[in-house]
Amino acid sequence: MKPHVLVALGFAVLATPALAQIQRQDPFADADTNRDGQITLAEYQASRAARFDRLDRDRDGVIRMQDFPRIAVRGDRGADLERMISAADRNRDGALTREELLASPPVAFAMADANDDGVLTAAERDAAKARLQDMRSARR
């Protein structure tokens, strides 16, 4: 799998309200806002924005490594978080704004959208989650 796909999937996993459960999080869990069983690109983008807002705990409009001192010092997780932030940090200032995140390609969505129709079905999400789980298992 390409490194930018790993970064995007990792950001999707890290960008959750329950940071303590990073290893078990479904990157598409909150995206199906109309509960029709499918996730459109618009729903996914709205979900990304909401995850950013949850991560921006001090409400300063940016996410930095310093915002997560416990994760930042934890070996692989800290390195993963740093890579994820820098992957979308367009101006390379070390801070990720909401606009930068939303302007970055929705790689996790694109990777999961097997038929490129702009809609994720339950089967596509399950396959993407299985690949993510395989990646996690390989890291252990």
Reported confidence tier of residue 5, pLDDT bands at 50, 70, 90: very low
Least confident of 17-31, 93-107, 121-135: 17-31
Q: Are strands 39-40 and 119-120 parallel, antiparallel or unpaired?
A: antiparallel
Say what the pTM is: 0.72
**pLDDT value at 13 more than 60:** no
Residue 125's H or E segment, with its range, is helix 122-139
E-only strand ranges, the chain: 39-40, 62-63, 96-97, 119-120
Map out the domains of the chain as residue ranges: 3-139
The percentage of the chain sitting over the pLDDT mark of 70, rounded to a whole number, equals 79
Which CATH class name applies to 3-139? Answer: mainly alpha
Please say whether the beta carbons of 70 and 20 come within 8 A: no
The whole-chain average pLDDT of the chain stands at 80
